Copies of this chain bind each other. A is one copy, B any other.
Amino acid sequence: MPMIQAAAAQAKQSDWTSLPQSELVYMQLDTGLVVIHLSQSVAPKHVAQFSSLVKSRFYDNSSFYRVIDGFVAQAGKAEEKSDVPTLPPEFTRTIPTKSDFISVQSPAFFADEAGFINAFAAGKDNETKEEWLIHCPGALAMARGTAPNSATSDFYIVIGQAPRHLDRNMSIFGRVVYGMEHVQKIKRASLTSVVSQGGVISDKAKQTKIKWAKLGDELPNTQQLTLAVQNVAATPFQQRLQDAKSLKHEFYVYPGSSNIDVCYYQPKIKVDNI
């Protein structure tokens, strides 16, 4: 291949970042296959404990027992006493000396700046010098009680408009990168339960089950999906943001406010082997 073509091919490749199987959790739900990409950036202890629980088959045959349409789908083994250790809060991180935070909106509406840490929507507070992951649709976080350090193993996935009041109050450690439509099929609690029982589905037969959850590198090659996420720093994604800020296409009568909601503009995912 001539050098220029090779360079172009290389540039093209870097528009996407491959997701290592070791950072992926595959969950086979009653409703379909879901894959989660774990993020070490803000909550490494949560990733470590979650991965370890996955490997120990902790979540196999557990279920989504609290599901509120437009809010979250929460899963785990709420009712069983377990000896899983509690986790320290990892709601935010101190801005590292060389931060990989890429700003796309400043000022933002719920933070000084909004952008991405790797491919994860993130916020930044320049006064307190903190960064955190944002509760966008598909975000994965550990549930907890009133005490900030009470999280153990129950987790939730955001399934509606971003619940931004939970930002900096919960430890986010991943996001759904495949099968979000199967997450959206998870059985909801009734309106009555939402009002009187906080959205818990008391009839176990009506809970959507997690048949099994496995790390990508526990699976045979034939079951692994070849996933890649848009590189936030690369031209196509930056162009997408630019287009979003100006809305120049003739379709638009109103050209927009030039503000960006990072939860709407999350990096796209591609799957190369299906």
A contact residues vs B (CB 8 Å cutoff) = 69-70, 89, 91, 109-111, 136-138, 146, 148, 159-165, 167-169, 180-181, 184-185, 188, 191, 195, 244, 247, 250-254, 256-257, 259, 261, 263-264, 269-271
Q: Which residues of B contact A247 (CB under 8 A)?
A: 165
Nearest-CB residue, chain B, relative to A167: B254
Copies in the complex: 2
**In the complex, A181 Cα to B187 Cα: how many Å?**
8
Nearest-CB residue, chain B, relative to A89: B253
Contact across chains for A91 and B137 when beta carbons are under 8 A apart = no
Contact across chains for A271 and B70 when beta carbons are under 8 A apart = no
Q: Which residues of B contact A163 (CB under 8 A)?
A: 264
Contact across chains for A161 and B263 when beta carbons are under 8 A apart = yes
What are 6 sample pairs from A and B whose C-beta atoms fall under 8 A apart?
A69-B180, A70-B137, A161-B162, A164-B261, A184-B184, A191-B270
Nearest-CB residue, chain B, relative to A257: B110
Contact across chains for A253 and B161 when beta carbons are under 8 A apart = no
Contact across chains for B136 and A252 when beta carbons are under 8 A apart = no
Q: Which residues of B contact A259 (CB under 8 A)?
A: 109-110
Contact across chains for A256 and B165 when beta carbons are under 8 A apart = yes
Q: Which residues of B contact A161 (CB under 8 A)?
A: 136-137, 161-162, 261, 263-264
Q: Which residues of B contact A184 (CB under 8 A)?
A: 69, 159, 184-185
Contact across chains for A165 and B244 when beta carbons are under 8 A apart = yes
**In the complex, A91 Cα to B250 Cα: how many Å?**
16
Contact of A250 among B69, B146, B270 (CB under 8 A): B146
**In the complex, A259 Cα to B168 Cα: how many Å?**
15
Query: Given contacts A70-B137, A161-B261, are A254 and B180 in contact (CB under 8 A)?
Result: no
Query: Given contacts A181-B188, A184-B184, A184-B185, are A251 and B169 in contact (CB under 8 A)?
Result: yes
Contact across chains for A264 and B164 when beta carbons are under 8 A apart = yes
Contact across chains for B146 and A253 when beta carbons are under 8 A apart = no
Contact across chains for A70 and B180 when beta carbons are under 8 A apart = yes
Contact across chains for A165 and B91 when beta carbons are under 8 A apart = no
**In the complex, A164 Cα to B253 Cα: how many Å?**
14
